[in-house]
Amino acid sequence: MLLLVVGLVYALAFWAVTFRHPKVALLMIFASAPFQNDISGGGPIKFSIAEVNLLLSVPVFFICSRPIRFGPIGVPVFVYIAVCVVASLLSWRASSLVSLVQIGLYYCFAVMIFTSFVRSEKDFRLAFEGLIVVCVFLAIVGIVSRSNYYLGLHKNGVGASLASGLVVAVELLFSTKEKMRKRFYSISLGIISCGLLLSLSRGAWVAAIVGLATVFGLRRQFRMMVKAAFIMIPLIAVCWTSLPKEQKGYALGFDRNSYSINARYLNIAEFKKHFERNEILGEGVGLRKEIDATNIVWLTLAETGVVGLVALLLVQVVFLSTVWATQLNLDRGSMLFSVLVIGAALVLGRFAHGMFDHYWGRGPIMIAWASAGMAMHAWYAKRRYRILSSRLRRRASQARSNEPFNEAVPA
């Protein structure tokens, strides 16, 4: 009963604030995503605070009469969800509903809210900086505690969130011109780097490397990469030397004799068995709740077969091609460009992380696909500017054509 009362008060306060200031809703979703703790009170479908915030944002979204937008990824997303539904109906299991809700939350609702809920891309900065502050807090707790499990969070979950915060901090450091913000991002970058290293989450390290490579590649500013390295490498070196020998061995050990590495091989073998039973549509969404899903490709093949994997890859390809087309001819110092870079970096980094660990991990997947929604907002913004420019040019051309012709009279 107490939980219900607290939840009702929280919902009313959330609606009261976000109805007038929608960007606060984005902050609450984005910045709370690293806290993956279940707050459902033991219900059949478990929710984190970020997922609750996302669901609470939906009625405000419709009351404010915002247009429902998904951008170019809308069609492939709905195709993928349709494949998941069909595959699950053919092989329904107890965990199918939970998994379908999870897919809908991230690929549908998160994208829709972050694409359509703000009028200006500048409103996204609050959400980005909120995430950085939370990641700095988690990194400090991890550095001090030196534990694999703290605040109810496992090191792999924390590491994945810190990898996202690291990418966001680096991109904003590149784009901002304000000295105070540059100092804030630089300090945050150093602290998050140390926390990420000490998390010993190798999948998160891969996500960070892929994300940073995406940022540097899209920006083509390798001089800035060197400057960022001067901040990160010395701090990482100090943290690494402070690690016990056992932890260093664990972090660098990829031998199959390692329990975690061997477990991943066993999981892939199990998914392969399920895939071979139905190679076209798999055995239904929900296997991820029954088998440790540490490889997104084999998980997708097992759950939805070849059709599902093609649909999932199509979502990624359409998204990345949209980002590439949109970022062309944009000012590298604009928030629109940063939004596109962060979206591409986090989505690619998340997929890379999913090759070695849980792709559908509750917090980082929310961050990645909320960022994808921001990138789709940037696509709409650029299209709107292009249409407006075209109309202005057409009007100017019409005005010139309507001017009276004055032939010069010779003297």
Query: Over the stretch 244-300, which tens digit does the pLDDT of each residue have?
Result: 666 655 555 556 666 667 788 888 899 999 999 999 999 999 888 888 888 999 999
pLDDT tops 90 at residue 394: no
Please state, for a pLDDT cut of 90, what percent of the chain lies above it: 48
Go through 166-190 and write b for each residue having 16 or more CB atoms within 10 A of its CB, e for each that does not.
Answer: bbbbbbbbbbbeeeeeeebbeebbb
**SS3 at position 388:** helix
Mean pLDDT of the 106-118 span: 92
In this predicted structure, what is the pLDDT of residue 192?
94
Of 119, 25, 17, residue with least CA distance to 335: 119
pLDDT reported for residue 46: 79
Return the sign of the alpha-carbon dihedral for residues 115, 121, 125, 126.
negative
Return the number of other C-beta atoms located less than 10 Å from residue 276's C-beta: 10
pTM summary value: 0.88
Residue 337 pLDDT > 60: yes
More confident residue, 40 or 131: 131
Distances (CA, A) of 379 to 125, 216, 294, 327: 17, 21, 32, 9
Average pLDDT, the chain: 86
- Please report the pLDDT score of residue 411 as a whole number: 45
pLDDT digits (tens, 9 = 90+) for 81-93: 999 999 999 989 8
Q: What is the pLDDT of residue 207?
A: 93
Residue 235 has pLDDT above 90, yes or no: no
Do residues 93 and 404 touch, judged by C-beta distance below 8 A? no
- pLDDT of 232 higher than 70: no
pLDDT in tens, 50-73: 999 999 999 988 888 778 889 999
